Amino acid sequence: MSQTSYLRNASGYAHRRRAVVVVKVAILSALLIGFAALAVDIGIIYNARQELRRAVDASAMAGAAMLAKAPIDPDAPAGEDPRDFGRAEEMAISTAGQNKVTGEFLHVDGDDVEFGWAEPGATGPAYSFSADGSDVNAVRVTGRRTEDNAVNGPVDLVFAAIFGIRTNDMVASATALMQPRDIAIVADLSASHNNDSELRSLNDLEINLGEVWSELPGGVDDAPGLWAGWTSSDPLAQGWAWGFFQRNPSGQSFGKGFGYDVNSESGPTQHIDKDTYEPNTDNGLIHMEFTATAQDWIPVGGTPYGEMKDYLTDTMGYKLGDLNITDGAFDPPAPTDEQSEIYAIMGDHANGETGRLYNWLFRTAVATGYAEWNSGIPGGRWETAGMPAPPFPPNGDHKVDPWELVWGSATLGSRSPYEMAYLWFDYTLDYLAVDYTSMVVYGHPDFQWKFGPKTFANYLLEARPRYADTPELFETPHQPVEAEKGAVQSLGAALRADYGDLMSLEVYATSVTHEVDLTSDVSAVPTRLNEMQAGHYDGYTNIGGGIREGRNTLTGSNSRPGATRILVLLSDGRATAWENLTEHGPSGTPVGEPMRANLGPTLEVARQYAVDQAAWAGQEGIQVYAVSLGATADVELMDEIAEVTNGRHYHVEGDSIEDYAAKLVQVFEEIAVVRPVTLVQ
């Protein structure tokens, strides 16, 4: 072949190849453009579906979060859930409308929000949802980008219109469930949990010691009171207290015997005004001090003693005789007259300091009407009232001897005369004479040697708070335990078993006890707590032990793996007790008796024990809601306990009992409705 022919053929071949390439490029370009268009529209659809999913997820979560706050609708049809879910529906719609799908805020309406019941399937973790209005624990929200969504419509496509596909319909639903909770109530029942009713708190707030006194057996609301038992006078059978303090002199504004009280605008109250109260002018108290030298109680020396003489003679019928008072002392009865019982009761006539002390002890019991006296004095009350003979014959002298007394005259609860006598000895000798520090130092220096319902009720709260000693106290509104009971009651009322909430009760002081297992009967916890009192078992404050017992319950056999674990810790004070552990860490168990902290290093050990227990609770997925009450609470400790568990600390204070009690109820109502929610579909 010539060179010219070769070149001509080569040129034709190259031309043909270029033509083929052009065709291929044209075809491939069309395909590439098609794929690009498809990719763009698929991206639009994918992003739209993701945005729609996020919108309905957020909407369902917001609606479910409002379920626990739904108010009760009194007009709800029978058989339907009585709660009004209007606010939850509004929240779901509003939240959906804050989320964009392909640049447009999503519109859902009331038909797209359903309330019903969600629960796991029988054979697996998948949840089923039933739009049942009779039981509601979940919200399902359906979001639509379809033709029937008049606001948004379907999702517009870009390149698919070339093929006649201009829009894409999409629908997404989400179901959010209120998470079931296992809640351990860990309540402080240390002895300090009645301090706000005691005279020691007089300068801090208007204490409610009158309410405590009135709710003891035979209180002002009881008729006849259990302090009855007298043989001669019906008035003494009314009202809690012993005889002299039931005289109800003019000026008392609350009940027989209680004495001075503040008058509110709405009438007499049972609280003592911290700004105006003065023990020395309180007609519900009488000063009868044991002094180094003999001292008579002179009727003309002051109104209270004149009232006492009148009570003993006119009401009780003790023999007055022919008495003269000269130089501030009793003269002996006239030799020609029969002997006087009043001379013996109101005069100090025993010999020797020890003899005088015990005679003073027995004279005060008779003078106040706590005991009756069979004096043996001719013509005395024992004859005129027909009193039974004492175990040993009375000697008829001017001394009140123990074997001449009838202690069953006044009975608190079901106590025997022997037990009533012991109470008087303890109240008089050990409390009014010696162990009065809390009343005097923290309350008022003039409470020492003051007899009356106030100091006796205070003695029961301070010196005999245990249930084993004074079981009647659990029925009294001593504070802050009463506020604690009211708050737990409100929590139980706000919880619903059909939400899947379980609640338990642990109480702590020095020792710690598990009182109520985790139960769906949420009323069982406040019911049991209402049967208990401050210092119920013992008196110190083992905060760490309370957390430990709550941990045991929330990780024990009755707890549920899928439930949120909440420990509600209450305290009004500082950690003053701890426990020895067989080993440190979450598996540690207490052994032996709890250790009691006093000062310095031991208090720090007790405090650190509480922090350690809280840290271990956090490792176990337990949140602590720490609730501290009052100015004496260790706020820093409660802050730390809540923080290490990713929980929350609520500190409650108030200028009055009513104030902080109301705030405490608000805290527990908030705990009731602040519920975790989770997506289940």
The model's pLDDT over 17-46, given as tens digits with 9 standing for 90+, comes to 555 555 555 555 555 665 566 667 677 778
Note whether 224 and 358 are same-domain residues: yes
Distance CA 502, CA 484 (A): 19
Predicted confidence at residue 291, as pLDDT, reads 87
Tokens of 348: 């100090």
Note whether 115 and 223 are same-domain residues: no
Note whether 87 and 118 are same-domain residues: yes
pLDDT grade, residue 56 (50/70/90)?
A: confident
Distance CA 45, CA 666 (A): 48
Note whether 450 and 509 are same-domain residues: no
Note whether 62 and 133 are same-domain residues: yes
Q: How many domains does one find in the chain?
A: 3
Predicted confidence at residue 225, as pLDDT, reads 37
Query: Taking 60 as the threshold, does the pLDDT of residue 6 lie above it?
Result: no
Instruction: Give the residue carrying structure tokens 């917001």.
Output: 62
Tell me the mean pLDDT in the region 359-371: 92
This prediction's pTM: 0.80
Q: Which domain holds residue 314?
A: 209-474
Note whether 465 and 567 are same-domain residues: no
Note whether 375 and 485 are same-domain residues: no
Would residue 652 count as lying in a domain? yes
Would residue 616 count as lying in a domain? yes
Range with lowest mean pLDDT among 79-83, 349-353, 558-562, 623-627: 79-83
Would residue 202 count as lying in a domain? no
Would residue 198 count as lying in a domain? no
Note whether 416 and 335 are same-domain residues: yes
Range with lowest mean pLDDT among 28-32, 54-58, 201-205, 289-293: 28-32
Note whether 384 and 365 are same-domain residues: yes
What is the Cα Rg of the chain in Å?
Answer: 40
Q: What's the pLDDT tens digit per position in 492-529? A: 887 765 567 899 999 999 999 999 999 999 899 999 99
Under 8 Å CB-to-CB from 610, ≥6 apart: which residues?
Answer: 543, 544, 547, 575, 578, 637, 641
Predicted confidence at residue 265, as pLDDT, reads 55
* Alpha carbon distances (Å) from 166 to 154, 162, 260, 281, 376: 10, 8, 88, 94, 117
Tell me the mean pLDDT in the region 145-156: 82
Would residue 356 count as lying in a domain? yes
Predicted confidence at residue 411, as pLDDT, reads 67
Predicted confidence at residue 176, as pLDDT, reads 84
- Per-range mean pLDDT, top range of 37-46, 331-340, 498-507, 547-556: 547-556
The residue type at 199: L
Note whether 141 and 268 are same-domain residues: no
Note whether 486 and 470 are same-domain residues: no
Q: Who wins on pLDDT, 617 or 273? A: 617
Query: Taking 80 as the threshold, does the pLDDT of residue 593 lie above it?
Result: no
Instruction: Give the residue carrying structure tokens 């650190």.
Output: 608
Range with lowest mean pLDDT among 104-118, 321-335, 377-391: 321-335
Would residue 36 count as lying in a domain? yes
Q: Who wins on pLDDT, 512 or 282? A: 512
Domain C-terminal end among 178, 201, 231: 178
Range with lowest mean pLDDT among 10-14, 55-59, 649-653, 675-679: 10-14
Query: Taking 90 as the threshold, does the pLDDT of residue 619 lie above it?
Result: yes
Q: What's the pLDDT tens digit per position in 527-543? A: 999 999 999 999 999 99
Would residue 647 count as lying in a domain? yes
Least Cα distance to 521 among 502, 507, 500 occurs for 502
Distance CA 235, CA 230 (A): 10
Would residue 203 count as lying in a domain? no
Domain C-terminal end among 441, 474, 507: 474
Predicted confidence at residue 15, as pLDDT, reads 54
Domain C-terminal end among 178, 200, 224: 178
Predicted confidence at residue 307, as pLDDT, reads 87
Query: Taking 80 as the threshold, does the pLDDT of residue 456 lie above it?
Result: yes
Residue-averaged pLDDT of the chain: 82
For residue 232, the 8-state DSSP code is S
Percent of the chain whose pLDDT exceeds 90: 30
DSSP letters spanning 443-460? I-GGGTTEESHHHHHHHH
User: What CATH number corresponds to the domain at position 504?
Assistant: 3.40.50.410
In 3-state terms, what secondary structure has residue 185? Answer: strand
DSSP letters spanning 73-104? -TTPPTTS--B--HHHHHHHHHHHTTSEETTE
Note whether 268 and 388 are same-domain residues: yes
